[in-house]
Amino acid sequence: MDSTTIIGLGSMMMAGLTMAIGSIAPALAEGRAVSRALQSIAQQPDEADILSRILFVGLAMIESIAIYCFVISIILIFVNPFWDKMSAGG
Amino acid sequence: MQISPDTTVIWSWGVVNLNLTIVFTWAVMGLIVFCAWLATRGLKVHPPLSRWQNIFEAVVTLMRNHIREIIGPDIQRYLPFLGTLFLFISVSNLLIVIPEYRPPTGSLSTTAALALCVFFAVPFYSITGHGVWGYLRHYIQPSPLMLPMHILGDFTRTLTLAVRLFGSIMSESMIAGALLAIIPFFLPVVMKMFGLLIGQIQAYIFAVLAAIYIASAAGSHRAHRQT
């Protein structure tokens, strides 16, 4: 197996694994956050505005972790620096 | 598959490259300015109001309410900056209903520029409001031990602002392109509607996060007293 194949295989596998493993924790965290926010809104419907605003901001914070994973896998697939080096070097 | 509209260069002269990002950014800015000109042409106090004045008043009132809840009663200082951020991101995400349009927020250069604006706006508002000492004091606010965390947080939150907006918009257009090959005609429509929702939520989150960062540097003691 030459090094181009190894780099391609490793990049593809790690891109998939990054998305698969990296989205577990944000998914669990977002589920917890939404369920607690819904409970709070059900208990205090008057505070729904401020609760939903804090919920959105918190969800954005949590989701940024998943987006980091996504950007890393996109970099691995489309603009892989090692791949460019291999194809430039021959 | 193209990741960002940066790579599509439509006109080049020497070192000057005119890519799709710049073209669509100027198109969005021109559209916003044109609509604002239409709306403020014949402002009236008494009804019947024109349609344009109605919709712009609704948007501006919404933004003023949010700024008052997050930062405080000094709305007019923050409304131009935060409102412009929200309107630009919102309109550029909304226009994806037009065919052949690539949202400029799906390019890392645009989102990095917007995040840098927030990065510099935070000390600007704090220094003009409380002086240099008042700005520097928030770095040691709970205790001087938190100084490295505050400095680190300044840079990481700029990075997250840029990458979050870029990742959401870029992933939406890429997923729509990938699903086009699996189930054409039906699934892209659903994903486009989902993308409209995501775009508006991201615009809202960007503006609210910028407001929260400005409020946190403008002195948390003042924000707490008023809420």
Distance CA A67, CA B165 (A): 9
Cβ contact (<8 Å) for B171 and A67? yes
Confidence at A58, pLDDT banded by 50, 70, 90? confident
When pLDDT is cut at 50, 70 and 90, the band that residue B226 belongs to is: very low
pLDDT at residue B99, as a whole number: 79
Tell me the pLDDT tens digit for each residue of B148-186.
Answer: 888 888 888 898 889 889 888 888 877 777 777 787 778
Looking at residue A88, its pLDDT comes to: 67
b/e per residue, A60-86, with b = 16+ CB within 10 A?
bbbbbebbbbbbebbebbeebeebeeb
Which of B62, B68, B168, B169 has the most A C-beta neighbours within 10 Å, making it the best mutation to test the interface with A? B168
Chain B residues near residue A71 by CB distance under 8 angstroms: 163, 166-167
- Report how far apart, in Å, the C-alpha atoms of B116 and of each of B3, B179, B210 are: 22, 34, 11
The confidence score (pLDDT) of residue B227 equals 40
Interface membership of B168 toward A (CB under 8 Å) = yes
Interface test with B, best of A50, A64, A73 (most B CBs within 10 A): A64
Query: Touching check for B7 and chain A: CB below 8 Å?
Result: no
Please say whether the beta carbons of B67 and B79 come within 8 A.
Answer: yes
Residue of B nearest to A57 (CA): B205
- As a whole number, mean pLDDT of residues B10-19 equals 77
Those residues with Cβ within 8 angstroms of residue B54's Cβ, 6 or more apart along the chain or in another chain: none
Predicted ipTM of the assembly: 0.72
- Tell whether A57 lies on the interface with B, counting CB pairs under 8 A: yes
| Residue among A57, A67, A79 minimizing CB distance to B208 | A57
User: Comparing A52-61, B6-15, B100-109, B192-201, which segment has the lowest mean pLDDT?
Assistant: B6-15
Residues of B in contact with A61 (CB under 8 A): 160
CB-based contact B205 A68, cutoff 8 Å: no
Q: Is A14 exposed, middle or buried (0-12, 13-18, 19+ CB in 10 A)?
A: middle
Any CB–CB contact under 8 A between A82 and chain B? no
Omega into B188 within 30° of 0, i.e. cis? no
- Residue contact A67–B3, C-beta within 8 A: no
What share of chain B in percent tops pLDDT 90? 22
Question: What residues of A are in contact with residue B171 (Cβ under 8 Å)?
Answer: 67, 70, 74
List pLDDT tens digits, range B75-129.
888 899 999 999 999 999 999 888 788 888 888 889 999 999 999 999 998 888 8
Q: Which of B66, B164, B174 sits opposite A67 (nearest CB)?
A: B164
- Could B209 and A57 be called an inter-chain contact, meaning their C-beta atoms sit closer than 8 Å? yes
Shortest Cα–Cα distance, A35 to chain B (Å)? 19
Give the residue, B178 or B215, on which the prediction is more confident.
B215
Q: Over chain B, what HEC string results? A: CCCCHHHCEEEEECCEEEEHHHHHHHHHHHHHHHHHHHHCCCCCCCCCCCHHHHHHHHHHHHHHHHHHHHCCCCHHHHHHHHHHHHHHHHHHHHHHHCCCCCCHHHCHHHHHHHHHHHHHHHHHHHHHHHHHHHHHHHHHCCCHHHHHHHHHHHHHHHHHHHHHHHHHHHHHHHHHHHHHCCCCCCHHHHHHHHHHHHHHHHHHHHHHHHHHHHHHHCCHHHHHHHC
Residue B220 pLDDT exceeds 70 = no
Chain A residues touching B164 at Cβ < 8 A: 60, 63-64, 67
| CA angle centred on B137, ends B131 and B139, rounded to 5° | 125
Identity of residue B71: I
